Structure 1
Amino acid sequence: MIPAAAIALLMIYFFFPQEKAETTPAASLELISAESPQQTEPPENENPVIESKLMIDMKGQVVSPGVYELPAGSRMQDAVDAAGGFTPEADSRAINLALIVVDETSLYVPAAGEEIVLPTAAQQTASGSGGSTLININLATETELMELPGIGPSKAAAILAYREEAGSFKTPEELTEVTGIGDKTFEQLKDFIVVK
């Protein structure tokens, strides 16, 4: 009886530790495999996409002129809508509403019948990088001079003739010395000219 009991005790002693040794790693492997997918998955919204914005300056015949912030990819129609739409006097045909808005754009909506003067070579020379649209009367051609208020073909030709005879204008006021250009005409155009 004693040897049989001793053998049974020995078997129990060695049997249970082996079970624990076998089950513990298995349990650990199950735990690791269960946690593995969570560790490999990237966290949600790790790199959130920031939607860029742009600014546009609305001027002219819109209900509420001013600077507006628009989402990137907006079109001129969106810019006009942001400013409250066109006024009744606006010439909507002068604006390309399908054009994509670029950041820092200045959009001017003219009134119906209003004549828009585009910058010319003389204007760009006078303005440099300042963004002004003044006409340099020392560089302007006859056609460019005729864009000034009160200046027709004869007065433009007179300005060119004076420039050839007397040289470059020293001041804008010197323009009144040109034949046919009096104080009244000068008052009309003085805000549109520059001497360089």
Structure 2
Amino acid sequence: MAEWIKSNKLYFFGGALAMCALLYYLFIPPQETEALPEIDQAALAEREDSVPKSLEDEAPADGQPQVIIVDVKGAVKKPGVYNATEGDRVIDVLKKAGGLMENADRNQINFALRVSDELVIYIPEEGEGLFETNGAEGTTSISVQQNDGRINLNKATEAELQTLPGIGPSKAAAILEHRETNGPFKAIEDLKLIAGIGDKTFEKLKERIKVK
């Protein structure tokens, strides 16, 4: 037997190793692997719902256009007080008032003017001439437009000034303040006295403004 082992020792040790390996897997239990935590699907869905899918989801609820009140008078079919939406123009409000009368002087009205809260829109009849507001506190009126289509810096309302290129609410308010403090503009070049209105802005405005 000893002689046989010596002559076949490679086979003997190989078989012994195989036997040990077999016994190891048969009698030693496999090591338990750590279980992965179960995913809470409800919590995951809640987190997904809380993430805005676009910038529109973050828009505030009060971002809707503001409702404003406009008084329409003169040569319109249905004079009265009408609700308008911020951004509406004179022509939009006149449609609500039933449109113009046949004798309305269309050449004096800026139909593209954006309306503002407490605005008085007066439509003159042909031959009536320019409309002048009664100056009631808390109200304003549309300055009717001359046939040349230019804005009069000494008569224009804040809403009318904002129809000019490069003139927003702050600059329009500054123009009105300058007019009230220093009196009427003597020349259109005086507009450059307003902070924020330089040569480039004035070049865009000079063909659309006047002082008389």
TM-score range, shorter chain: 0.3 to 0.5
More helix by share: 1
Report the TM-score when normalising by structure 1. 0.45
Report the TM-score when normalising by structure 2. 0.42
